[in-house]
Amino acid sequence: MRISRRGLLAWSALAAMRGATAARAADWTRFRGPNGTGLASESIATPARFGPEENLEWKARLPGPGSSSPIVVGHRVYVTCWSGYAESREELGDIRKLQRHLVCLDRRSGEIVWDRTIDSDGQEEAYRGMFAENGYASHTPVSDGERIYVYFGKGGAAAFDLAGERLWLTNLGKESDRRGWGSASSPVLYEELLIVTASAESEALVALDKRTGREVWRKEAQGFAGTWGTPVLVKVADDRTDLVLAVPYEIWGFDPQTGKLRWFCEALNTDSFCSSLTVDGDVV
Q: Establish if 211 belongs to a structural domain.
A: yes
Q: Whole-prediction pTM value?
A: 0.92
Residue 226 sits in which domain range? 2-266
Residue 46 near residue 63, CB atoms below 8 Å = no
Domain count, the chain: 1
State the DSSP H helix or E strand holding residue 208, giving kind and residue range, or none if neither: strand 204-209
Q: Establish if 273 belongs to a structural domain.
A: no
Q: Establish if 112 belongs to a structural domain.
A: yes
pLDDT in tens, 74-103: 999 999 999 999 998 888 999 999 999 999
pLDDT in tens, 202-226: 999 999 999 999 999 999 999 898 9
Average pLDDT, the chain: 90
Q: Establish if 106 belongs to a structural domain.
A: yes
Q: Establish if 53 belongs to a structural domain.
A: yes
Q: Establish if 274 belongs to a structural domain.
A: no
Q: Establish if 59 belongs to a structural domain.
A: yes
Q: Per residue in 35-54, is it b (16+ CB within 10 Å) or e — as a string?
A: bbeeebeeeeeeeeebeeee
If you average pLDDT over residues 139-166, what whole number do you get?
A: 97
* pLDDT on residue 115: 98
Helices (H), 26-94: none
Q: What is the CATH number of the domain that holds 165?
A: 2.140.10.10
pLDDT in tens, 270-280: 999 999 999 98
pLDDT in tens, 56-67: 989 999 999 999
Q: Establish if 46 belongs to a structural domain.
A: yes
